[in-house]
């Protein structure tokens, strides 16, 4: 089938490359000329494991193209995916201006039947609005549908090619059949439902994951109060098949481009429809509290930050990505700069993005984890990169001025650090 994907961010680009790998003919469109030029040169605009090779392979095979306009392909495609950003507004609502701009462009160029599908995460009722916008410019037959993505940054290619489920929200048998044909090579449960249910499944899933994270962080805080160990507690909880181990890792809280905005959006959607979602309010409050509780722990131990030399391990919101959107480590780093600390910062993939936010004043960008800690009064672990677990702790002890570790990801072996003379502070342990 011929697929048109509008938007070349994480969702659009990964989806395009993977659909091409499945044998479809894919055209990815973006109005960012610099990005399209990079993609046509074979440069991927962000770090994602396995994606560059997949793009290169399918471009060479003629199954994947990148263009600036939908005009050449909107009427020759079998299906159109909308995969543009839906960032949060200040009030928590999803900003749909890019989705609606694309809907208008589709309507202005459409000349025959097509299925227009939202792959972006959009509030319930968005598809109806997309239909109305397209119908203002095109009076022929078309369908709208919903097929939300469930991709995790860092494992997005693997997630796409080995999905746990695919959700179709449709209004017609024709649209359902087209979506089935597009995804027929992917073996997993396929949920065929209404558009509102499809749209809500994505929000509900992310909100529940965020709830698990906030819950285990609350338990970690109780552990610190009563002298329990969160690692043992969460392991014991996770053995219950009704609970499971995933997302029961205590830390600084959730960040990134999906969970924060989706939780806020679902809270907003609920409120707009007359329901006060009390659990989600608490989830958001706990997540905001968690980072500053850890910051205050650092401040209580180190005292005045003025002229303190502090190493920062990790700026990306999670490992295996260069994404710093809503990164808690980034927030903590900015606060440390404000309070006068001198920082040495290292991240295996997100350093260039970090430089644009952190600037140069009171910040040195390091080439390795060990180099970050030379002469440091303390080191803070903000991202769970495997590289940090592999650092030689004896060498680390020898290069630091004061052997103090603040582990915001519970990444390192507490007993080993203590045996080497470190002062070690983590979460819930």
Distance CA 351, CA 341 (A): 19
Active-site residue, 258 included: yes
Could you tell me which of 4, 21, 79 has the C-alpha nearest to residue 55? 21
Half-sphere exposure of 276 (CA within 13 A, CB side): 2
Positive or negative: CA dihedral 12, 15, 20, 26: negative
Distances (CA, A) of 374 to 309, 363, 404, 418: 9, 14, 13, 20
CA 250 to chain centre: 18
For 67, the enclosing helix (H) or strand (E) is: strand 64-67
Phi, psi (degrees; rounded to nearest 5) at 172 = -145, 155
* Per-position DSSP letters for 132-162, written without gaps between them: HHHHHH--S--EEEE----PPTTSHHHHHHS
Alpha-carbon span 252 to 408, nearest angstrom: 6
Chain center to CA of 364? 27
d(CA 393, CA 74): 57
Please tell me the number of Cα atoms within 13 Å of 54 on its side-chain side. Answer: 22
**Cα 219 to Cα 250: distance, rounded to the nearest angstrom:** 8
Q: What are phi and psi of 191, to 5 degrees?
A: -95, 115
Do residues 237 and 248 touch, judged by C-beta distance below 8 A? yes
**Neighbouring C-beta atoms of residue 244, cutoff 10 Å:** 12
**Which of the following is catalytic: 28, 147, 258, 373?**
258
Percent helix, strand, coil in the chain, to 5, is 45, 15, 40
Residue 250 CB-density burial (10 A; 0-12 exposed, 13-18 middle, 19+ buried):
buried
Known catalytic residues are 258
């Amino acid at each position: 089938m011929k697929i048109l994907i509008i938007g070349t961010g994480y969702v659009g680009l990964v989806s395009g490359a993977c659909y091409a790998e499945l044998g479809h003919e894919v055209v990815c469109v973006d109005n960012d000329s610099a990005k399209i030029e990079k993609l046509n040169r074979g440069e991927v605009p962000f770090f994602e494991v396995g994606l560059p090779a997949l793009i290169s392979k399918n471009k060479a095979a003629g199954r994947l193209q990148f263009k600036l306009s939908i005009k050449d392909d909107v009427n020759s495609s079998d299906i159109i995916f909308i995969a543009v950003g839906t960032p949060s507004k200040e009030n928590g609502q999803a900003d749909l201006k890019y989705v609606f701009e694309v809907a208008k462009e589709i309507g202005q160029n459409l000349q025959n039947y097509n299925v227009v599908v939202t792959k972006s995460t959009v509030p319930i009722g968005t598809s109806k609005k997309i239909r109305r916008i397209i119908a203002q410019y095109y009076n022929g037959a078309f369908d709208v549908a919903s097929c939300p993505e469930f991709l995790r940054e860092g494992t997005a290619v693997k997630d796409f090619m080995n999905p746990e489920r695919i959700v179709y929200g449709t209004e017609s048998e024709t649209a359902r059949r087209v979506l089935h044909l597009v995804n027929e090579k992917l073996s997993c449960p396929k949920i065929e439902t209404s558009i509102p249910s499809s749209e809500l499944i994505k929000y509900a899933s992310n909100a529940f994951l965020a709830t698990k994270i906030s819950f285990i962080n609350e338990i970690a805080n109780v552990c610190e109060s009563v002298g329990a160990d969160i690692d043992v507690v969460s392991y014991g909880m996770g053995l219950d098949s009704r609970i499971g181990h995933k997302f029961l890792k205590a830390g600084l809280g959730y960040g990134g481009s999906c969970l924060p905005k989706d939780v806020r959006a679902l809270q907003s959607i609920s409120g707009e429809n007359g329901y006060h979602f009390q659990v989600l309010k608490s989830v958001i409050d706990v997540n905001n509290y968690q980072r500053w509780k850890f910051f205050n722990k650092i401040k209580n131990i180190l005292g005045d930050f003025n002229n303190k030399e502090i190493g920062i391990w990790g700026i990306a919101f999670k490992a295996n990505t260069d994404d710093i959107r809503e990164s808690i480590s980034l927030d903590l780093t900015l606060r440390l700069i404000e309070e006068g600390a001198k920082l040495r910062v290292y991240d295996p993939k997100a350093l260039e993005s970090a430089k644009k936010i952190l600037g140069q004043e009171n910040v040195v960008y390091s080439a390795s984890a060990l180099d970050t800690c030379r002469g440091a009064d303390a080191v803070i672990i903000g991202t769970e990169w495997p590289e940090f677990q592999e650092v030689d702790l004896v060498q680390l002890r020898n290069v630091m001025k004061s052997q103090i570790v603040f582990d915001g990801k519970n990444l390192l072996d507490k007993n080993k650090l203590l045996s080497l003379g470190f002062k070690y502070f983590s979460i819930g342990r």
